[in-house]
Structure 1
């Protein structure tokens, strides 16, 4: 009978094998623990950050939804291609709804056609049209010319404390030659101010001038006063204008009583060493060239600075209309 041989492992070797297996299990458990700890730490941080961003986004969208701004932009056959198309491609897209008004057709702008000689009748017909067809789609109406550049986010911030049911208007407040106040550099009307203009003012020649005039803003100021519409203060906390009746480079480098005597003389508010500075909360610039308009838009909305938080941009709707009114 062949004798069976059995090989037995030394005790010390078995001991080290068991220790090695135990260490492997311990390391695996430690790695699993660290991975889970890291995961939950990262996940909670991510959720906290996400919650903050979501809240801010919701607040922004809610504000846009609550404060609906309808932009009415006046242009003409010359401005259609020269400047208005640049506004339509830049700041106008931040309006909740918008409508161009021109005396000539344009395939891109699709303007409301109004062929009056002077601006006051054009403005009256345009406001009639907006009130008739879009009054339920706006809280505030912004009226500007094609060479304005407007920062809608700053306008919404300024309007936040006010109700569109108040009879109020905003702009750069000026004196006319008859010592009547009017708004320059863009006019913002509340829903109630628009209603009073169209329903009560334009139908009553004793309240609003029934004739045409080249001085539309001045006529608007007189009409609003007769209707009990209040002039809102659109300046910032330092008393600086937010509706700027100049292009930004002009206001930054050249504004002085000697060079801009008409502004200093006719401004409702005092222009001094503090108030002649450009506000960081500027809303509207006037007499803006196409090159400056595109440059402003790039610096405000396109240029990204490392570490600077980027807020979501507004969703906009396009309004096109080619109705002939004359």
Structure 2
């Protein structure tokens, strides 16, 4: 073979190898970029409300409701609780909301999204101010994005999936709100919802609160009035025609609870004079078999209670768990919403 012909052959082999190497390098580059983007997404993403696993079982109904019943949760906290109670909420139930906001008087990056009240002395006496401003803030920023607006304390534990299940039957355009029903100064006809157990406003209820009630001090206590925030918002919502919805389950058990689970299950230090019994709109009970199987919230939760509850609900796996048929409730029209007659066996007051 001549030298010229041999050089031509080598050139062809070199070009072929160059093409193969280029293709290989390009494919390797694409694979590495894809892996890098996936790794970045995995490490930066927030906990996903659609990854709902209860007792080790994937909950398809919870996945569906997370998209259909969009809830903003705002949590009342203060700087002293940022690294304790507020962080406990963030690490447990809080990220199962569609959006989570902490309302406080000092900014902190650790908690994520916060609404900070500037030049504000954060004490128990100003909870009504915080409540008014927080609801106004979420209305102005998120009323067009979300359906329901939950207020909770930083020692409240909320089972967000059960809350969505309750709210599914109701349109967010109804003037309605839900929580644990108490009565004003023994006036059974006038409801208000316990602040500690948490209460949730529909989009329409929030609209009426911000644009009607808050604008008229004859309808709604002004900021400078020293008053309990749950009393005050109950007055405001009632004045603009917002209905106090019945949040009890199919067995008439209460789902928003103003006390922690073990107190309600054992109740060893309760007697008839305990405030919980006399303020309830509906018959409040403490016993092993009277807690709702679809409870929504508990108040006065300790750090230990928060993490134990979260572990047994979302990480613990019971072998061969009993499966419950997933059935959504009927969607209701406003004229189908019923406010049942109050009943409390301990009630010694008159209407």
Contact 2:180–2:193 (CA under 8 A) maintained in structure 1: yes
| C-alpha spacing 1:60/1:238, structure 2 compared with 1 (3 Å) | closer
Deviation at 1:257, TM superposition (A): 5.0
Matches within 5 A, 1:248-259: 248-254=261-267, 258=271
Provide the TM-score with structure 2 as the length reference: 0.68
Larger Rg: 1 or 2? 1
2:282 to 269, 280, 287: 269
Give the aligned partner of residue 145 of structure 1.
153
1:131 to 136, 139, 160: 139
Deviation at 1:256, TM superposition (A): 6.8
Matches within 5 A, 1:1-326: 57=60, 60-110=62-112, 111-114=114-117, 115=120, 117=123, 118-177=126-185, 179=187, 180-184=190-194, 185-210=197-222, 211-254=224-267, 258=271, 261-271=274-284, 277-308=290-321
Deviation at 1:143, TM superposition (A): 0.5
Answer 1 or 2: higher relative contact order, Cα 8 Å, separation at least 6. Answer: 1
Deviation at 1:239, TM superposition (A): 1.6
Write the distance in 2 (CA, Å) between the matches of 1:157 and 1:163. 13
Write the distance in 1 (CA, Å) between the matches of 2:130 and 2:79. 14
Deviation at 1:300, TM superposition (A): 0.4
Contact 1:121–1:213 (CA under 8 A) maintained in structure 2: no
1:31-79 superposed Cα distances (whole Å, 9 cap, x missing partner): xxxxxxxxxxxxxxxxxxxxxxxxx84x543322111000010001122
Write the distance in 2 (CA, Å) between the matches of 1:104 and 1:237. 43
Structure 1, gaps ≥5 residues long: 1-55, 312-326
RMSD, aligned CA: 2.4
Contact 1:240–1:276 (CA under 8 A) maintained in structure 2: no
Contact 1:71–1:143 (CA under 8 A) maintained in structure 2: yes
Contact 2:93–2:157 (CA under 8 A) maintained in structure 1: yes
Give the aligned partner of residue 55 of structure 2.
none
| C-alpha spacing 1:259/1:107, structure 2 compared with 1 (3 Å) | farther
Say which SS state the counterpart of residue 243 (structure 1) adopts: coil
Provide the TM-score with structure 1 as the length reference: 0.73
The farther-off stretch of 274-283 and 212-221 is 274-283
Write the distance in 2 (CA, Å) between the matches of 1:142 and 1:278. 22
Contact 1:119–1:213 (CA under 8 A) maintained in structure 2: no
| C-alpha spacing 1:195/1:151, structure 2 compared with 1 (3 Å) | same
Say which SS state the counterpart of residue 78 (structure 2) adopts: coil
Structure 2, gaps ≥5 residues long: 1-58, 325-351
Deviation at 1:192, TM superposition (A): 0.3
Between Structure 1 and Structure 2, the one with more helix by share is 1
Deviation at 1:152, TM superposition (A): 0.5
Write the distance in 2 (CA, Å) between the matches of 1:277 and 1:290. 25
Q: How many residues align?
A: 256
